[in-house]
Amino acid sequence: MSMMIGRTTLAANGFSDNIYAGRQFEFAPADGRYSFGFSVDTGVQGEVEIDIFCAGDTLGDRVQPGPTNRVPVIPDDVMIRGLCTQNDRIVGRARNSAGAARVIIWAVWFDEAMYLSFIYPSLCLREKNGSSGRHSAFVG
């Protein structure tokens, strides 16, 4: 399992087009399941909202991380899981509605499709055959 961790500061009432821009997993390195975890430094849950897209498909819409002020951990802080194919662009769009700056602490975990085929064979077959759309997403 590969992992990427980062922090993004959003100004008061600020916006970020892509918190993953220029990072290792901005473009999916291989087919597989991607898990996204988030935390916010302070404030109230709901002040920060995050949307996750993979190749233009929405994996998560208006996800509201809690103010735990720590690096997200599996499984407690995994808010979105989804399948992406190699070279798909992964976008994390973030909004801060608070009147003060907020720091988003985020993590992305990546499991290659080869590993997934043993654990989730029916999910991978649906994905491969296209019966459930190009990307599958599930929360939790």
Question: Mind listing the pLDDT tens digit for each residue in 16-65?
Answer: 999 999 988 899 988 888 999 999 998 888 899 999 999 989 999 999 99
* Rounded Cα–Cα distance for residues 102 and 79 (Å): 19
Can you give the pLDDT at residue 119?
A: 52
Name all domains of the chain by residue range, CATH numbers in brackets: 2-138 (2.60.120)
